[in-house]
Amino acid sequence: MHTALARLDGPPTLAAVGIGVHGPAGRVDTFLLPDLWQLHLYGYDADLTVGGTEHSIRPGRVSLVPPGTEVRYRYRGHSEHLYVHLRLGSGGAPASIPVIQSAGPELPLLTEQLQQALAAWPHTPPRAVAEVWGALWRVARLTPPRERSAQAVHPAVAAAVALIEARLTEPLTVPEIAKAVGISHNHLTRLFRAATGETVVGYIRARRMERARHFLRATTLSIPAVAASVGIPDLQAFNKTCRRELGASPRGIRAARPVR
């Protein structure tokens, strides 16, 4: 994987901010975070494989890895990096960001932002969120578009994402999406996984559930209306999907919304 599609129009939700220490217990780590993005700022030399693509870690480089993507680190000794594990929102157009790039002259400011986030977390979450959100936008703008073009998200993936967003209320199949964007089913599946770290079906399901959670918490739409608005009009299926993906029934999600 060379690039990731990240939506930065809304503030992230932070799960953890810290300093990762690796190397002494073993020279290789392989893992993935099923539901969380990973933002790392490095101060050492190592090798990194993201979704099967190899990259070099050098001091001053930063990586942004989408959820569900396997990463493999090969260390050369004691290694420390600043890290943030987070969730991104669903609003706005996705930005194509290299999964690893040099911070260049932005390194001092990026380091300060992440250190401020670390100092604020978890005692002052809003401050930590603000610092990380600013850091994400800084990371998104490190590599000018003309230098990123060789690694840009395939136009078919961008078209597929736009189609999915426009038709979340309708039945969608991968062959149908592939035909609409002009490539084969298998080709779209490979491109989509490389660009987003997710399957097309997984992306559709996640977007539907993100929209459902928003409608349940932020609106007074009836539960049948919410179900229909995310393309799952069968209430039994909607209830089952909410429990599996969001951890609660639609009524439970609605009951847990913040009191204003």
Query: How many other CB atoms sit within 10 Å of the CB of residue 197?
Result: 23
Tokens of 244: 């599996």
Q: How many whole angstroms separate alpha carbon 176 and alpha carbon 53?
A: 29
pLDDT at 147 over 50: no
Is the pLDDT score of 139 beyond 80? yes
Domains contained in the chain, number = 2
Please tell me whether residues 84 and 127 are part of one structural domain: yes
Residues 16 and 127 in one domain: yes
Whether residues 175 and 69 share a domain: the answer is no
Query: Of all helices (H) and strands (E), which one includes residue 74?
Result: strand 71-75
Q: What is the pLDDT of residue 24?
A: 67
**Does 206 score more than 90 pLDDT?**
no
What DSSP assignment string belongs to 113-143?
Answer: HHHHHHHHTTTSHHHHHHHHHHHHHHHHTSS
pLDDT-based confidence at residue 12 (cuts at 50, 70, 90): very high
> Distance from CA of residue 182 to its chain's centroid?
26
25 secondary structure, DSSP code: T
Residue ending a domain, choose from 149, 171, 198: 149
Q: How large is the C-alpha radius of gyration of the chain?
A: 19
Assigned domain for 118 exists: yes
Same domain for 137 and 178, yes or no, is no
Report how far apart, in Å, the C-alpha atoms of 68 and of each of 16, 30, 38, 136, 198 are: 17, 12, 10, 19, 7
Q: Are residues 46 and 131 in the same domain?
A: yes
Shared domain check, 198 and 71 = no
| Domain of residue 231, CATH code | 1.10.10.60
The per-residue pLDDT for 70 is: 87
Q: What is the pLDDT of residue 96?
A: 85
Query: Where a domain ends, among 131, 149, 167?
Result: 149
CB–CB of 121/75 below 8 Å?
no
Comparing 24-33, 159-168, 200-209, the range with the smallest average pLDDT is: 24-33
Q: Are residues 74 and 136 in the same domain?
A: yes
- Segment 143-165 mean pLDDT: 71
pLDDT at 40: 96
pLDDT at residue 25 is higher than 70? no
User: What is the 3 state secondary structure string of 180-246?
Assistant: HHCCCHHHHHHHHHHHHCCCHHHHHHHHHHHHHHHHHHHCCCCHHHHHHHCCCCCHHHHHHHHHHHH
Backbone angles phi, psi at 237, to 5 degrees: -65, -40
Q: Which residues contact 150 (CB under 8 A, 6 or more apart)?
A: none
Structural domain harbouring 169? 155-255
Q: Is the pLDDT of residue 33 over 70?
A: yes
Among 21-25, 57-61, 113-117, the least confident range: 21-25
260 is a domain residue? no
pLDDT for position 150:
45
Buried b (16+ CB within 10 A) or exposed e, 173-188: ebeebbeebebeeeeb
Q: Is 248 inside any structural domain?
A: yes
Tell me, what's the pLDDT at 258? 58
In a domain, 77, yes or no: yes
Domain membership flag for residue 106: yes
Same-domain status, 15 and 143 = yes
The domain boundary residue, chosen from 134, 149, 164: 149
Do 76 and 55 reside in the same domain of the chain? Answer: yes
Mean pLDDT of the chain: 87
Min mean pLDDT across 67-81, 88-102, 136-150, 187-201 is at 136-150
Note whether 60 and 106 are same-domain residues.
yes
> 41-50, 87-96, 158-167: which has the minimum mean pLDDT?
87-96
**Whether the predicted pLDDT of 149 surpasses 50:** no
> Are 233 and 170 a contacting pair, CB within 8 Å?
no
108 plus 162 within the same structural domain:
no
Please check whether residues 80 and 183 belong to one and the same domain. Answer: no
Q: Is the pLDDT of residue 223 over 60?
A: yes
